[in-house]
Amino acid sequence: MYNDVYRGKKVFLTGHTGFKGSWLSIWLTKLGADVCGYSLEPNTNPSMFKELNIKDKIYKSIYGDIINANKLEEEMLNFQPDIVFHLAAQPLVRLSYHEPVLTYLTNVIGTLHVIDVANCCNSVKAFVNVTTDKCYENKEVKRGYCEDDPLGGYDMYSSSKACVEIMTSSFRRSFLQEDNAMALATARAGNVIGGGDWAQDRLIPDCIRSINQNIDIEIRNPASIRPWQHVLEPLSGYLLLGQKLLEEGKKYAQSFNFGPKKESVLNVAEVAQKVCEYYGKGEVVVHKKDDLHEANLLMLNIEKAQEFLGWTPTLTIKEAIKNTVDWYKHFYQKDTDMYDFTLKQIKDYEEKFNERNGT
C-alpha cells in the first residue's frame, strides 16, 4: 500500500498519544517511517499509548502542547520532517461546553501554530490537517454532506473545527501558492471506533466500561445516527492523502471526507446492541438526556475521496464493531500481546483493502 512512499520518510505526528494517534503511530512505523510524535501526555487511564508501550516503538516521542509555539518550533525544526500529520485536538463535543476557551485555544490557535511552524520548516513537503465531519453546518438532512457544503457548528467543538477549515483554506491561499510551498490538505472523518479508546462520553468506550463493571450500558440518544467507522478506515484515507500530497503536491491540497458507506450507518442503540452481541454480555438502557445539544443525524458524502484518491471504505459496520470488541476482549483477558494484536489487525485490514479495492 501507498507505493512504499513512507519508507524512510520523517513524519511529524501531533496527537500521537491519543487513540487515533496511537494507531497511526503503529501503522506509520510498520510502513517504515521515522515517526516523531508531539503531544500532551495521555489523558485516559488506561491509555493505548502506554499499554502498548508505543513510546519505545517509534523514532521519538515528545510531550508538548501545540499552544506552546516556541517548543513546537524547536522540536519540528530539529527533526526536519518530510510530512506532518496533525491530529492533536480537544476532540470532545460535550467537554467543549465546559471548556470553550481551551477548545478554541487548542483547536484553532494550536492548529495555526502547527501549520505556521511547518511552513517555516523547509523540509516539509506535505501536511495533512485532520478536522472532523462536525465542521459542517448540520441541518440534519438525510443526504451526506459534501466538501463544498457550508461550514458551521452548534457547539464549541464543532464550530472550532469549522474555524480550522476556514483558517486552513485562508493560509493556503495566502502563503502556499509558490511551486515549492508545502501541500496542505484537510481530512474530515466521522465517528471513529476501534480498540484502545478509553475517552469519556464516547459510545463504545462507555459500553466497554459498563460491560467490564457489570453495570447497565446507559445511552442518551438511542435514535441518533452517526457515520460510524473503524479507526483504520479514516487512517487509510489520511495515509493515502499524504501519499498523493508527497507524490503530486498541490493537486490534492484540498478537503476530503472519509466516511462509511450508506449501508454501514447505524443509530446509537443498534451499535450498543451489537457491542453486547459480540462481547457476549451487557444490557442497554436509555438514560435521561441532559440539556447539552448533540446532533441527531449526521452523514458524509465520500464521492470526492473515491474519485480523486481511489479511496473507499473496506469494512462493513459489523466487521468494524466485531474488530473493536475483539481488541477489548483480548486486552481485558490479558492473553495476548496487544501491540502484536494491533499489528495483526492492521495487516488484516491492508489485505482486505487490497482485495476489495483490486490493488
Reported as a pLDDT band with limits 50, 70 and 90, residue 156 is very high
CATH T-level assignment (fold) for domain 2-286+297-357: Rossmann fold (3.40.50)
Reported as a pLDDT band with limits 50, 70 and 90, residue 277 is very high
Position 78 pLDDT exceeds 80:
yes
Q: What is the pLDDT of residue 359?
A: 61
Reported as a pLDDT band with limits 50, 70 and 90, residue 294 is low
37-51 mean pLDDT: 97
Reported as a pLDDT band with limits 50, 70 and 90, residue 143 is confident
pTM: 0.95
Cell of 333: 483477558
Which range, 28-42, 216-230, 281-295, 297-311, is most confident? Answer: 28-42
Domain locations along the chain = 2-286+297-357
Q: What is the pLDDT of residue 291?
A: 52
Reported as a pLDDT band with limits 50, 70 and 90, residue 286 is confident
Q: What is the pLDDT of residue 338?
A: 98
Position 234 pLDDT exceeds 80:
yes
Q: What is the pLDDT of residue 253?
A: 98
Q: What is the pLDDT of residue 34?
A: 98
282-287 mean pLDDT: 88
Cell of 293: 445539544
Q: What is the pLDDT of residue 358?
A: 65
pLDDT 10s digits, 81-103: 999 999 999 988 889 999 999 99
pLDDT 10s digits, 206-228: 999 999 999 999 988 888 877 78
To the nearest whole percent, how much of the chain has pLDDT over 90?
Answer: 83
17-35 mean pLDDT: 98
Position 158 pLDDT exceeds 80:
yes
pLDDT 10s digits, 295-339: 556 788 999 999 999 999 999 999 999 999 999 999 999 999 999
Position 107 pLDDT exceeds 60:
yes
Q: Over the chain, what HEC string results?
A: CHHHCCCCCEEEEECCCCHHHHHHHHHHHHCCCEEEEEECCCCCCCCHHHHCCHHHCCCEEEECCCCCHHHHHHHHHHHCCCEEEECCCCCCHHHHHHCHHHHHHHHHHHHHHHHHHHHHCCCCCEEEEECCHHHECCCCCCCCECCCCCECCCCHHHHHHHHHHHHHHHHHHHHCCCCCCCEEEEEEECCEECCCCCCCCCHHHHHHHHHHCCCCEEECCCCCEECCEECHHHHHHHHHHHHHHHHHHHHHCCEEEECCCHHHCEEHHHHHHHHHHHHCCCCEEECCCCCCCCCCECCECCHHHHHHHCCCCCCCHHHHHHHHHHHHHHHHHCCCCHHHHHHHHHHHHHHHHHHHHCC
pLDDT 10s digits, 46-76: 999 999 999 999 999 999 999 999 999 999 9
